[in-house]
Amino acid sequence: MNAVLDKPESMSNNFKKLQAQIRGQVGKAIEDFGMIEAGDKVMVCLSGGKDSYTMLDMLLSLQRRAPVDFELIAVNLDQKQPDYPAHILPEYLESLGVPYHILEQDTYSVVKRVVPEGKTMCGLCSRLRRGSLYTYAAANGITKIALGHHRDDIIETLFLNLFFGGKLKAMPPKLLSEDGRNIVIRPMAYVAEREIERYATARKFPIIPCNLCGSQENMQRRVIKNMLRQWEVEYPGRSESIFSALCNVVPSHLADPGKFDFRSLRSLREITPELLASFAVTEPDAAAELP
C-alpha cells in the first residue's frame, strides 16, 4: 500500500509542485472559512474514490504542519454493495497508521427496493449515507465532518439547482447540518477536479468504484459535468470565473427580497435631513456615493 508521500526523495519535482499546490489550496480554504480549530476531532469521510483519498492525504500532511492540534479519524460506510472489496480501505488505512472506523449498513438493498429501475439513485443513496455518518459523528464526539467535494462539485451543484430546482444555491465550504448537531466542512472547495485526478493517478490510490450509481450515464449531474467540461475547452478559465462569482455575491443586484431590503430603497431626492443623519455620514460629499 502507499504511504503518504512527504519525503522529497520519493517524489518527482512535478509531483511535489502538484502536492504543494493542492495542499496550499486546502490550507487556504480551511483558513478562509474557519474549518478546523484547536482540539477538533475531524471525521474524514472516506469512500474509496479519488477525492476522499486526496482529502485524507492533504489533511494528514497539514496536521503535521498546522500550528494547532487536531485529531483525524477516517470513517467509511460499507453499504453492502455486491462484490464490494471490504478489505481495501482497512488495509490502506492500517498502512498509514490512521485511526479509522468502518460503518456497516445495507443501504444498497433499500435504494434498489425503493428507486424504480432506470431512475437516478444518488439522491436517496446520499441521504441514507449522510444519516448514518451524521449519527455516528454525533455519538462519537466528532466536531467536524470532512467531505471530499471539490470546486467542480460545487459549480455543478449550482447549475443543478439553477436548471432543475429554481434556486441560486450551491455547496457551501462550511455548513451546519439541518438537525443542528454537526458542522460539515469541504476542505477541497478550492481544488479543481483535474488536479485531483492527476494527484490520484500519481499516488496510485486503490480506487473502489461505485457500482451502485456511478454507471448511470444519463443522470443530471453527469449532463452538467459534460456541459462544464465543454465550456472549459471552448473558454478556458470559465470554471474559475463561475466559482469566483460564488465568492462575490451582490444581493442588491439579484431579486430576492428576503436577502435585500428593496422596499426601503429611496432616492437621494426623497432623503430627509433626519433620514440622512441616520446614515452617520461624516464627509460632506459622501451622500453622493449612496445607491
Task: Give the pLDDT confidence of 51-96 residue by residue, as tens digits.
Answer: 999 999 999 999 999 889 999 999 998 877 788 898 999 999 999 9
All domains in the chain, ordered by first residue: 8-246 (3.40.50.620), 253-289 (no CATH)
* pLDDT of 289 higher than 70: no
Task: Give the pLDDT confidence of 89-108 residue by residue, as tens digits.
Answer: 999 999 999 999 999 887 77
Distance CA 159, CA 238 (A): 14
* pLDDT of 211 higher than 70: no
pTM exceeds 0.85, yes or no: no
Task: Give the pLDDT confidence of 233-248 residue by residue, as tens digits.
Answer: 999 999 999 999 999 9
Q: What is the pLDDT of residue 88?
A: 95
Q: What is the pLDDT of residue 1?
A: 41
The average pLDDT across 194-205 equals 97
Which of residues 215 and 275 earns the better pLDDT score? Answer: 275
